[in-house]
Structure 1
């Protein structure tokens, strides 16, 4: 066999002879040559032969019933035994028997008496030939199987261009099978290009030709082949042609895909906004895209094979020191490496770019580093923008002074330094008095101009190591670090107040300002930056309370007030969050009948000791901290639900709710009132909103629009504390006002103060002329009642009738 050792199968020998002695002698003599079986008749021999399938049959000619020639014919006619070697044995010497022996398929003839040694030699030779024949047959089958398995078309052609052999048994290569191809001309089988090459080789006697040929009509998806043509020579003459074809379709396709991918990558790398540079494993440049050319100043051709450091000159943007190119580290350490912070690239033309990104190694199939690639981009504009954004985040847009954030940072730093040096730090908070009025009067553009002028004037007063910051609309702060003598603070504060009192000229028009100044000192009163800022703020408000245009230090008294303020603020917040805001109701009565016709809702706050806190103690703080809206909403909701409950019990009690200036200017306030009326189910005519004169005059157009929207809802508008404001009375005609409430200070003093009496008379007369309802507050005595009735005042409220009371107590009055 071609691919194995010789077959060690034991030979099979069949001896056929009707003479028992001869049969016994022969089987005994041949026993060591293989497996031997003896038969005494021809009929028996046929049955044994078909099952035993012997390699050699020793067949006696003369046998009864069926002679040896007949047995031989039957054996040769059966495919199972046709290849068995038949050796005839006979006692006849006539030539006719020898002739008949070979004619009937025998291969040899042994004469009796049998020479056993000669017989053994003949049988051994025939067995060897049989084994060689089997090996040749097996080898032929192996070669055929091998050729059939090879993914290559193998063929042999005569010099007349006829196919003599091929291995295409499955029509893989051509439209005809290999068997059909045998004997056909190459011109009829092969593509034109391939046939012409084979024909030219024969014509020109070229020993060999190799070429790539496309298949016009591809068979089995074979589109391209590599053909090798080899002429075969014998004694100098061509005797045939070996043609082999190898399928290179996948190679062609892969090359095409690789070319397309390479082009796509080239276009992509040349189109992206990042610079890309590739190097070999020694950091010599092999590729640069156009962005890299622009940033380095080198063309790809100029940079080719140059070391990366010769083309990319990286330095630290701040120190100017040379930086290691990240691609060198990537190659050395076989990892991705980010570019150093603050990297800048100096181009060939000395232009400087801030750059950032990273480099990575390129590895081959075995994981070895074969090169590197660095991707980077110009971040010069981003860095500049970041610097600008950082500046904007820490500075005031209008004055370009440090803002609250930067001031806080500097105060914290100054406190740390002062602690280590055992020195003091001062924070001076400056607030422009009545700036809102000035801003609203002159307009915001002129107001901004005043803020800029104030900033410049303050800058002229301070040293370079001080920090001047604008921390609010009209608030400035000065940080004084490392104070050795506290007396300097008084000097600076006095200079601020005096300098601000000098007129500011805008469009040749002088404007005089005053400021309130609060001062906090570390570590005397404040131990943290937070303390310094809150304490300076508290001191500044103390200066305002003392009459403005002055400065005030933070003190123990302010500490107590500050903590009390914090406590009340916390109480307001928790009470709102937990629905603990209480509403008291003070009845309004018809003065003539003293019948209850309405109530005024008054907010109350209860502290942790269950003690009532009056509005005068927490309403201003609620307005200042922005909690007034939530507080007012809670009161309005409770009041509407209470009035609806009374209505359901048969009592039409109009409830009056006080509205603060900040609530009144809230754009969503009208919607909230409408939603509250809808949710509670209270008819709008049973709700009255009380607004002070000062609130009405905050912004005339906004006020007018808000009042008109509220009037559409059908509720009543009352002006509370009428007569205490400074506005024109013309708004009574322009605004949809229904009720005037005479301030209790006038009612309380009208019997002992003629001016107060005149004011009450005037308001009453004015209300009647405008068809407005009058409510007198602060009715505490019988004389007040009688006089108000004489003046024609319809309604009143005060301690003479009832004090403010919880809802439960008022419910009892209605029974």
Structure 2
């Protein structure tokens, strides 16, 4: 047995002949066409055929033991070699053997004596046929795999798919489409698509044109809106979206259409639910602020056209937070739900009730032709809320503050209308609660003034024009100047001073407090450094707002101010209030600890007016306590105030804190504080807050300054 490897083709030829010279001749003549395997033993040939699976087997008919015909039968019977093409070597004009060979599946014959040229051509032709068969089989296999893949894909996707021919007859329907239409594949295929797809308008139930018909007729992609409804064979209804495209062959001819559609029933239901949730209060089901805005826009347009008035009543429950915290949120929700039901009893076609906050409702009154009607509704609101509310076997009474704004008297649009009603409600709150307040020009003037101050403040911050006045602090034993408190002042356009209580709160609400605080701190540090260079080391105190501690750069801004002005840290004192300490306990504690470690003095301002908790004093690095001016002012008219001052002084002494009394205005107050051994004091008795230049003239530039109060050598600390 010999093997000869072809180099240009992977095809294989098995030659079986018991005559060695024939094997040598055929191998030499065919070796460039394929890999040649020769064998003279038919039994061995079967093993080789099973191992190599040759493309062509050339068999001699006359062989001992197993002749060519028997060998051919065995090769064809083996599943591994049944596709091997068999050629027989026969004598010329051996018609009987050729007929038998063809019956066994032979494809050709090689006549003996062998003509190599003819043999090569015959074998080469059959090798090409085998190669083409292989390619065709591979192509068919790939086509079948692709077809199977597409079939699995179409049956697996979540969308429904229906295809038709050019005559609109269904050619394919996947499982999702079968479920939605109620038609099985066997029933639907071949049916007109209009019979399988029953489409109508979801609003009017009117039939809609089938998109397959449109797509085929207009030769374009057709997409439907979410208003399409599909009614299945078993009368179930689905909201669907679909896209239909023409199917074209390689020549561009339209041979059908493919429709892909989705069941969006749940999506639409979810969208409807989400829209309701977005526009209604979850607890009461009433319209919320968003829906109120929409209805106000419509009502304003309608009332403007009818020349009638429109009123908005903002109803806020008084002290509801106390009741909610006392009874628990679940009980609070019960109260809100009950009150909403009571208020809803007032509603008719001209009154809309909304819940716009936790304990806040709004009533929209349209088509108002008399102000007395508004008063009547407001009175009924107060009366309904005032009725006892049963909660867990007990009854509670509530009151309301009501703010009223009227279109077009008070506002020209819905935003102004609600805002002005809200403003009036807060005025009712400040008036003592349990009352009704209409929006007025007075309130508008206050708003305008607030807006003006806001602009002045922004301009001053942008131009670095804030002013700092300084009020001196004195040692109450020696009478010497011990420091100064920097107090920010805002100058109006006309040169007058705007009081701090009119712009500090505004700065906090608008977020400008951080910029304001940085500017005041820098100016104070610069002034103290200048005084140091003039020979006077005066510690300057700067007030810090609670919101400044929430600024992540607050610590860095303080250190930058010291370093940029070259002011020693020992000459800077930061004053914080009790509310500032409790604003963000942990963050404030960390920041103050770092500032204290840097050498900055920390003072607690207005002690006794806030939380007055002795326990939290241990957690902050405090150096100074400042007694609030309200206690100093009432010391001689209120024994309790004097006792509080005395207690604070003893507390400061026991904690080794410096005590500063604010608001000293009389000699009697000074004498009492010195008697109790208060360390330092400030107030109009010594000096009002002065502009920087006046402060320098009075306390810095003078070569010698007489103490404003006599020293008290007899009192020792």
TM-score in same-fold range (> 0.5)? yes
Scaled by the length of structure 2, what TM-score is found? 0.73
CA distance 1:586–1:483, shift in 2 (3 Å): same
Tell me which of 755, 776, 796 is aligned to 2:637.
755
CA distance 1:490–1:205, shift in 2 (3 Å): same
Superposed counterparts of 1:187-586, under 5 Å: 187=59, 193-196=84-87, 203=96, 245=126, 246=129, 247-572=132-457, 581-586=466-471
Cα offset for 1:633? 4.5
CA distance 1:790–1:362, shift in 2 (3 Å): same
CA contact (8 A) 2:86 2:107 kept: no
> Distance between the aligned counterparts of 1:324 and 1:608, measured in 2?
72
Superposed counterparts of 1:676-695, under 5 Å: 676-681=557-562, 683=569, 686-692=572-578
2:504 matched residue in structure 1 = 619
Superposed counterparts of 1:32-71, under 5 Å: none
Partner SS, residue 799 of structure 1:
coil
1:710 matched residue in structure 2 = 592
Cα offset for 1:528? 0.7
> Distance between the aligned counterparts of 2:340 and 2:237, measured in 1?
37
CA distance 1:416–1:380, shift in 2 (3 Å): same
Which deviations, in whole Å up to 9, do the C-alpha atoms of 1:93-122 show, x marking residues without a partner?
xxxxxxxxxxxxxxxxxxxxxxxxxxxxxx
Cα offset for 1:536? 1.0
CA contact (8 A) 1:297 1:348 kept: yes
> Distance between the aligned counterparts of 2:405 and 2:231, measured in 1?
51
> Distance between the aligned counterparts of 2:641 and 2:486, measured in 1?
26
2:42 matched residue in structure 1 = none
2:518 matched residue in structure 1 = 634
Cα offset for 1:397? 3.0
Partner SS, residue 498 of structure 1:
helix
775-784 vs 554-563, greater mean Cα deviation: 775-784
CA contact (8 A) 1:628 1:663 kept: no
> Distance between the aligned counterparts of 2:94 and 2:334, measured in 1?
100
Which deviations, in whole Å up to 9, do the C-alpha atoms of 1:56-93 show, x marking residues without a partner?
xxxxxxxxxxxxxxxxxxxxxxxxxxxxxxxxxxxxxx
> Distance between the aligned counterparts of 2:136 and 2:541, measured in 1?
93
> Distance between the aligned counterparts of 1:445 and 1:198, measured in 2?
102
> Distance between the aligned counterparts of 1:209 and 1:288, measured in 2?
47
Tell me which of 657, 664, 670 is aligned to 1:779.
664
Scaled by the length of structure 1, what TM-score is found? 0.65
CA distance 1:454–1:541, shift in 2 (3 Å): same
1:55 matched residue in structure 2 = none
CA contact (8 A) 1:640 1:677 kept: no
1:675 matched residue in structure 2 = 556
In our comparison, the structure showing a higher alpha carbon Rg is: 1
> Distance between the aligned counterparts of 1:618 and 1:471, measured in 2?
29
CA distance 1:733–1:689, shift in 2 (3 Å): closer
Cα offset for 1:642? 4.3
Cα offset for 1:330? 1.5
Partner SS, residue 273 of structure 2:
helix
CA distance 1:798–1:439, shift in 2 (3 Å): farther
CA contact (8 A) 1:326 1:338 kept: yes
> Distance between the aligned counterparts of 1:460 and 1:705, measured in 2?
49
Cα offset for 1:373? 0.7
CA distance 1:208–1:502, shift in 2 (3 Å): same
> Distance between the aligned counterparts of 1:481 and 1:557, measured in 2?
25
> Distance between the aligned counterparts of 1:267 and 1:757, measured in 2?
93
Partner SS, residue 473 of structure 1:
coil
> Distance between the aligned counterparts of 2:376 and 2:505, measured in 1?
33
Structure 1: tracts of 5 or more residues without a match = 1-161, 163-168, 177-184, 214-226, 232-238
Higher relative contact order (CA 8 A, sep 6+): 2
Which deviations, in whole Å up to 9, do the C-alpha atoms of 1:539-596 show, x marking residues without a partner?
1222223222111111222222222223334444565566655544333222233433
State how many pairs are aligned.
608
Question: Does residue 766 of structure 1 match 2:653?
Answer: no
CA distance 1:545–1:390, shift in 2 (3 Å): same
CA contact (8 A) 1:283 1:328 kept: yes
> Distance between the aligned counterparts of 1:265 and 1:652, measured in 2?
89
Tell me which of 731, 743, 748 is aligned to 2:628.
743
Cα offset for 1:529? 0.9
CA distance 1:308–1:647, shift in 2 (3 Å): farther
Cα offset for 1:305? 0.9
555-564 vs 302-311, greater mean Cα deviation: 555-564
Cα offset for 1:477? 1.1
CA contact (8 A) 1:325 1:339 kept: no
Partner SS, residue 524 of structure 1:
coil
Partner SS, residue 755 of structure 1:
coil
CA distance 1:597–1:441, shift in 2 (3 Å): farther
CA RMSD of aligned residues (A): 4.3
> Distance between the aligned counterparts of 2:184 and 2:332, measured in 1?
57
CA distance 1:591–1:525, shift in 2 (3 Å): same
1:102 matched residue in structure 2 = none
CA contact (8 A) 1:652 1:686 kept: no
CA distance 1:767–1:339, shift in 2 (3 Å): same
Structure 2: tracts of 5 or more residues without a match = 1-21, 23-28, 37-56, 61-67, 76-83, 111-117, 563-567, 702-717
> Distance between the aligned counterparts of 2:148 and 2:447, measured in 1?
74
Cα offset for 1:310? 1.4
Superposed counterparts of 1:798-809, under 5 Å: 798-806=683-691
CA distance 1:265–1:535, shift in 2 (3 Å): same
> Distance between the aligned counterparts of 1:629 and 1:712, measured in 2?
22
